[in-house]
Structure 1
Amino acid sequence: MLKNDSSPIWERPERQPRPVPVPLSREVVVQAAIALADAEGLSSVTLRKVAGVLGAGPMRLYGYIATKEELLALMVDAIYAEMLEGEDATGAWRARIARLAGHLRSAALRHPWFAALLGGRPQQGPNALAFTEAMLSAVAEAPGIDDIDTVFLATKVIGAYVVGAVCDEAADAAATQESGQTKAQWQDANWPYIQRMIATGRFPMLSKVAHQMTHPAPGTLFGRGLDRVLDGIAGTTSTSR
């Protein structure tokens, strides 16, 4: 069992791996937890169940990770590490932001549970911090942004859009899995009701969405939405207050 230690998991030394009966390390534990979450969902991830997957006693895991919350934090940071593989700071600011946003969306599609952990307080693992640093650095190169308050605010706006879009996709995928009904099937089932509501004349804009919108694929829609956000940021001029 870990001694009482208030230091963050990122800065806490881990015990040396023991070769028998099962070689363990934080990395081994985290990767097993990620595989379990990918296969069975986030609710399946407990220290006891991860220990069972590894063929180890639960008490052995406490030598590396003290709580489930720490395990989840390490899992999230491992996904941020995936996003940063091969990433560099080259290219124009918009291209860099689009690349980073695309990495986050792709990671959420590979790991459906990941989106559920993106809300709330900012992630503070070293890889999550590196991702945030990369995003801040790209935003800082946008025209008309010359103070850190505006850089931070613009980055928050981008993050709100990206996380919101990713969570919407994840929720739709989860609904499909739970109901066994695809989005298209769900829309077909509800279309008669929507037609009746549109026919009342109370929803002219929704009528245009239903009848005139091109309804692009999720990836295309994600990119177009991000372009609109970046168009706004490109037109930002800093003002003194």
Structure 2
Amino acid sequence: MAGKESETVPDDGASGAAGVDPEQLWLRSAERRRGRRPSFSREAITAAAVALADAEGLDAVTMRRVAAEVGAGVMSLYSYAPDKETLLELMVDHVSGELPTTNPLTGDWRADLKAIAHLQRAHMLRHPWLPAALATRRTPGPNTLAFLERALAALRPSGLDGAARLEVFAQLTAFVAGHVSHEITQAAAARSPDRSAAEARYLAAVAADGHHPELAEALASTGRPLTPEATFTRFLNRLVDGLDAD
């Protein structure tokens, strides 16, 4: 067991959530705790793991580190989360509880879908590890299901059948996760002025070499706001406005 404790939570989907039993995790978890009151709660352990991931990234989330954060023995954590894949499932659903699910819908499914996407973006920016974690999740918990239910309700006026609405929401979430990952990478690069200046000089040289006229024209275009929020909104509008409701 000690060897496993030093491993980080995988984020490449190699083992994925295939080993997590969703019935055991979400439907039978309440049956586990009987008898003497436990010293720790699954919620406290999950919150500690989320705080670690927020501050240091997923690589910081190990059973040993989480145990230290809550003042527990490492072995005791395994009765709450038998492996780190399960812990990551719990983390994803824990933060999903931050997403609103009772705000009124307008009945304009495109507008409601865009509002949902903006909520997702803000949510993922608060938890920068979330886009990578979502790439391997297959067992939505109660908080995740509540937000999914809300999204499907928002899409009902579109006339799409249930399967198509699920596909649209999956497509939207994948778009938001990919865009947020790019935003985070770009923000990190912008904190290095030397690198940003070098990239600008390189692109200017490429645009002027005569071999890339399409790129030169694109780089010369002006008038569009380039703030992260504006760029996200522009891409989102293209995605949602282009959806076929037939």
TM-score, with structure 1 as normaliser? 0.80
Residue 15 in 1 paired to residue 33 in 2?
Answer: yes
Preserved contact between residue 63 and residue 84 of structure 2 (Cα < 8 Å): yes
| Gap change, CA 1:139 and 1:32, over 3 Å in 2 | same
Preserved contact between residue 105 and residue 112 of structure 2 (Cα < 8 Å): yes
| Gap change, CA 1:55 and 1:152, over 3 Å in 2 | closer
Please report how far the alpha carbon of residue 16 of structure 1 lies from its aligned counterpart in structure 2 after TM superposition.
5.6
Q: For residues 174-217 of structure 1, what are the alpha-carbon distances to aligned partners after superposition, in whole Å with 9 as ceiling and x for unaligned?
A: x44xxxx5266533222222122111223233223322143421
Moved more, 68-77 or 211-220: 211-220
Compare relative contact order (CA 8 Å, sep 6+) and give the higher one, 1 or 2: 2
Q: For residues 142-187 of structure 1, what are the alpha-carbon distances to aligned partners after superposition, in whole Å with 9 as ceiling and x for unaligned?
A: 2xx34334333333332332222122123334x44xxxx5266533
Q: Which amino acid aligns with 1:93?
A: W
**Which among 231, 238, 241 is matched to residue 241 of structure 2?**
231
Q: How does 1:196-235 map to 2 (within 5 A)?
A: 196-213=205-222, 214-233=224-243
Identity %: 36
Instruction: Find the counterpart in structure 2 of residue 90 from structure 1.
Output: 105
Count of aligned residue pairs for this structure pair: 222
Preserved contact between residue 77 and residue 127 of structure 1 (Cα < 8 Å): yes
Moved more, 201-210 or 47-56: 201-210
Runs (4+) of structure 1 moved beyond 6 Å? Answer: 17-20
Q: Which amino acid aligns with 1:211?
A: A
Instruction: Find the counterpart in structure 2 of residue 161 from structure 1.
Output: 175
Residue 191 in 1 paired to residue 209 in 2?
Answer: no
Q: Which amino acid aligns with 1:158?
A: L
Preserved contact between residue 15 and residue 63 of structure 1 (Cα < 8 Å): no
Between the aligned partners of 1:64 and 1:149, the Cα distance in structure 2 is: 34
Q: Which amino acid aligns with 1:224?
A: R
Please report how far the alpha carbon of residue 132 of structure 1 lies from its aligned counterpart in structure 2 after TM superposition.
2.0
| Gap change, CA 1:136 and 1:56, over 3 Å in 2 | same
Where structure 2 has 5 or more consecutive residues not aligned to the other structure, the ranges are 1-19
Between the aligned partners of 2:245 and 2:81, the Cα distance in structure 1 is: 46
| Gap change, CA 1:50 and 1:157, over 3 Å in 2 | closer
Preserved contact between residue 54 and residue 129 of structure 2 (Cα < 8 Å): yes
Q: How does 1:14-163 map to 2 (within 5 A)?
A: 14-15=32-33, 23-84=39-100, 87-91=102-106, 92-142=108-158, 145-163=159-177
Between the aligned partners of 1:31 and 1:16, the Cα distance in structure 2 is: 22
